Every structure is written in C-alpha cells, then in structure tokens.
C-alpha cells in the first residue's frame, strides 16, 4: 500500500513507541529526518546520547561509523542504521591494516584518530578526537610528534596553533575538500555583511578566509547567540535547515550550494520506517574490537 508522507510519519511514531526506540539524526540529515528525530547533533554528541537514553532501540540516522560509535558506547542497546550503505568515504580512507603498517614506520609516536574512523581503526589508535576537541586532545599528549588520521585538513588546522609536529594521513572529506576559496569569495561578494564560519575539515585556503572555524555543534550553539544576522556556512549544506529553523530571524547561506554528502542523504522516511518494521540494519561491533575502541574514545572523553 502506497502511503503519503504524513502516513509514513504517523507509522514511524507508532512503531517507535512499540519498539521503545529513539531516533537520532546527524546535523547533515535531510530536513524530513531532522523533523522526526528525538535528538539532532554531531557524531559524538549523538553517540553519547545513545548511551544515556532509556530506550532499548536506537535508530541512527547518520553514517556507519557514527552508528558504530553508538554501538560501542551503548552495547546493551540495539543500534539500527536505516541504510547499510550509508558509509563515510573519509572514514574508509584508512583501514586497520594500513594503520598498523603506518605505525610501524613511526615507532614510539602516539596516534590520534578522528572520530570519523571505523571501530577497527579506533581500536588501533591511542586516543580519539572530534573536530571541536582535536587541538586539546593533541596538546594533552606528552609526545612532540603525533600521527593523525585520517583527515589531513583537520591535521593542518591543528598545526596552526600547535608546536608539535603533526604527521597526517592523506585522507579528507570530499564534501569539505570541494569547498574552494573562490566559493567563499563569491558568496562574500553576494553578502558583504555576512560573517564566514567554516568547518575545520575545509582546505587551509578556505580556513584562511573564515572569520570563525567551528564544528557543527559549535555552529548550532553560536548561531543562537551571535549578533550577526547573516552567516555564510562552510560545511555540508544539510545543516542550513536546522540553523534556519532554529534562528528564523537570521540568514544562513551555504558557502557552496551543492556541498552535499550523498551518504548522509541516503536515509529517508521510508527507510526509517522499514528499519523499525523489520529491525534492520543492526550495527554490531565484535567484543574485542569494541573494548579497544572504547578505550580510545574514553581517553578522549576523560580530557
Ligand atoms: S560529510 Fe564528509 S565526513 Fe561527513 S559523512 Fe560525508 S564524507 Fe564523511
């Protein structure tokens, strides 16, 4: 039977209650998913939420490594991802095997992993970081040389304020890496009074043009308190939906109109409904990997 959008949403809400489930959605998800989510946030914030909520089932609307992190932090819960092919190309740029080989070339160095990595890779590193705490995590280590994976742009951003030698893996987010300096200049010409906020996964020349460099979580918070009425946003364009919805009197312009992550957009209402109907697709992390990966995440949380 073909259902319209309202009927799908109604069925989702009904099943959510029946299954004792919550819906977590990343800031880059489609507006229709953000509208039905119990919580919207960044990857780590959502995983921590997964561990705190009472619900037994977590429907994680994001990409695979995020659902995996939720499964690591909430092993007693059933974590579902509505589309099993929603992966993160950046997280897939380094495998556990490649990480082990890399470490062999740099004996004695500590390894910092961005949270955008698979559980197997997290299990191989010393400590995780997010885009908002990466500098603090790096500075918390005594070593002067640090291996950083997988995002070379985030590594370069940390190097701006650190005296340590950061040795980057050659990975990047194709969405942020495709925002170029000329996109910022063009938008700045169109909106000369706007402030420019960009994500630290952007290229160094884009960071150079920004007024502020923020994680998505910081963008959401700052948008509520800034006195600026117009802001150019240099990150995945899905966040504009939430920024605009929460701050209707302000104007947010995407630095690049098609800065969209196709993986983030794989999840839609129909897939969320199927997920709850059929309890698919379960995201599980083998105990041995979970334990090691949890150590890396917890060392970060302790900072
Ligand atoms: S926006 Fe970039 S980092 Fe985020 S899921 Fe997509 S490819 Fe990965």
Give me the tens of pLDDT residue by residue for the chain, a chain 303 residues long.
789 999 999 999 999 999 999 999 999 999 999 999 999 999 889 989 999 999 999 999 999 999 999 999 999 999 999 999 999 999 999 999 999 999 999 999 999 999 999 999 999 999 999 999 999 999 999 999 999 999 999 999 999 999 999 999 999 999 999 999 999 999 999 999 999 999 999 999 999 999 999 999 999 999 999 999 999 999 999 999 999 999 999 999 999 989 999 999 999 999 999 999 999 999 999 999 999 999 999 999 998
Q: Residue 173 Cα, ligand 1 centroid: separation in angstroms?
A: 6
The model's pLDDT over 130-177, given as tens digits with 9 standing for 90+, comes to 999 999 999 999 999 999 999 999 999 999 999 999 999 999 999 999
Question: Are the C-beta atoms of 172 and 92 separated by less than 8 Å?
Answer: no
With a 6 Å cutoff on the Cβ, whether 202 touches ligand 1 is no
With a 6 Å cutoff on the Cβ, whether 236 touches ligand 1 is yes
* pLDDT at residue 243, as a whole number: 98
With a 6 Å cutoff on the Cβ, whether 173 touches ligand 1 is yes
Instruction: Give residue 20's region: left, alpha or beta (phi > 0; psi -120 to 50).
Output: left
* pLDDT at residue 1, as a whole number: 72
The model's pLDDT over 209-246, given as tens digits with 9 standing for 90+, comes to 999 999 999 999 999 999 999 999 999 999 999 999 99
With a 6 Å cutoff on the Cβ, whether 175 touches ligand 1 is yes
Which pTM was predicted? Answer: 0.97
269-278 vs 5-19: helix crossing angle, rounded to 10: 30
Whose CA is closest to atom 3 on ligand 1? Answer: 173
* pLDDT at residue 44, as a whole number: 86
* pLDDT at residue 220, as a whole number: 97
User: What is the spatial distance between Cα 112 and Cα 300, in angstroms, rounded to a whole number?
Assistant: 10
* pLDDT at residue 288, as a whole number: 97
Whose CA is closest to atom 5 on ligand 1? Answer: 88
Residue 58's SS3 state is: strand
Neighbours of 303 (CB within 10 A): 12
User: What is the spatial distance between Cα 70 and Cα 60, in angstroms, rounded to a whole number?
Assistant: 8
With a 6 Å cutoff on the Cβ, whether 267 touches ligand 1 is no
64-73 vs 43-52: helix crossing angle, rounded to 10: 30
Q: Residue 261 Cα, ligand 1 centroid: separation in angstroms?
A: 6
Q: Residue 174 Cα, ligand 1 centroid: separation in angstroms?
A: 7
* pLDDT at residue 104, as a whole number: 98
DSSP structural state of residue 90? T
Which residue in 261, 160, 140, 259 sits closest to 204, CA to CA? 160
* pLDDT at residue 207, as a whole number: 98
Whose CA is closest to atom 6 on ligand 1? Answer: 261
User: What is the spatial distance between Cα 146 and Cα 4, in angstroms, rounded to a whole number?
Assistant: 52
Q: Residue 172 Cα, ligand 1 centroid: separation in angstroms?
A: 9
């Amino acid at each position: 039977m073909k259902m319209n959008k309202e009927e799908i949403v109604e069925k989702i809400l009904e099943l959510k209650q029946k299954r004792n489930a919550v819906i977590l959605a990343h800031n880059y998800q489609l507006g229709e998913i953000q509208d039905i989510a119990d919580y919207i946030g960044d990857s780590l914030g959502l995983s921590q939420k997964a561990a705190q909520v009472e619900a037994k089932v977590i429907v994680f609307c994001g990409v695979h490594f995020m659902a995996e992190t939720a499964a690591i932090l909430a092993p007693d819960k059933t974590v579902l991802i509505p589309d099993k092919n929603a992966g993160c190309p950046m997280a897939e740029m380094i495998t556990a095997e490649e990480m082990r080989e890399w470490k062999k070339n740099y004996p004695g160095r500590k390894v910092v992993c961005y949270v955008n990595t698979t559980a197997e890779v997290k299990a191989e590193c010393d400590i995780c970081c997010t885009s908002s705490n990466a500098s603090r995590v790096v500075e918390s280590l005594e070593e002067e040389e640090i291996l950083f994976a997988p995002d070379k742009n985030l590594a370069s951003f940390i190097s701006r304020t650190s005296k340590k030698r950061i040795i980057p893996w050659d990975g990047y987010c194709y969405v942020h890496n495709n925002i170029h300096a000329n996109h910022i200049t063009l938008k700045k010409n169109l909106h000369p009074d706007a402030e420019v906020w960009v994500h630290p996964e952007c290229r160094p020349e884009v960071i150079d043009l920004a007024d502020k460099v923020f994680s998505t979580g910081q963008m959401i918070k700052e948008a509520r308190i800034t006195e600026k009425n117009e802001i150019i946003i240099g990150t995945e364009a899905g966040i504009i939906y939430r920024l605009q919805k929460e701050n209707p009197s302000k104007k947010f312009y995407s630095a690049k109109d098609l800065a969209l992550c196709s993986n983030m957009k794989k999840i839609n209402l129909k897939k969320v409904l199927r997920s709850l109907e059929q309890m698919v697709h379960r995201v599980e992390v083998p105990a041995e990997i979970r334990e090691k990966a949890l150590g890396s995440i917890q060392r970060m949380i302790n900072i």
